[in-house]
Amino acid sequence: GAVVSQHPSWVICKSGTSVKIECRSLDFQATTMFWYRQFPKQSLMLMATSNEGSKATYEQGVEKDKFLINHASLTLSTLTVTSAHPEDSSFYICSAIPGTSRRETQYFGPGTRLLVL
């Protein structure tokens, strides 16, 4: 149980295009999902908290117009990287929690590798 999927697993795009990444909780409902960015051999950087039915909460320094987040259902959150540039190339990982308590375990997706040419 507690499986989170991401699609696509990797994507290559041209500079200036937009890329959408999907995060799905497969066997539980998640009112809250998180989006992280990870650079090679580094820790995860939390980008934003995605809340079902409301606006996402972005971490300081993360451009909300650049990284659009939509959490339209209890099992799906999407991250759209708009007008992508080479510096947006990274490993993007989502996570989801099955409840609202601070005790809840975050379950992570397998990640999406984005390469912007």
Partner 1 sequence: AQSVAQPEDQVNVAEGNPLTVKCTYSVSGNPYLFWYVQYPNRGLQFLLKYITGDNLVKGSYGFEAEFNKSQTSFHLKKPSALVSDSALYFCAVSLYYGNNRLAFGKGNQVVVIP
The residues of the shown chain that bind partner 1, judged by CB under 8 A, are 2, 4, 6, 32, 34, 41-44, 46, 49, 57, 91, 93, 95, 97, 100-111, 113
Q: Report the distance separating Cα 22 and Cα 77, nearest Å.
A: 6
Centroid of chain to Cα 20: 10
Q: Report the distance separating Cα 29 and Cα 18, nearest Å.
A: 28
Nearer to partner 1, 46 or 82 (CB): 46
Least distance in angstroms from the C-beta of 60 to partner 1: 12
Nearer to partner 1, 84 or 93 (CB): 93
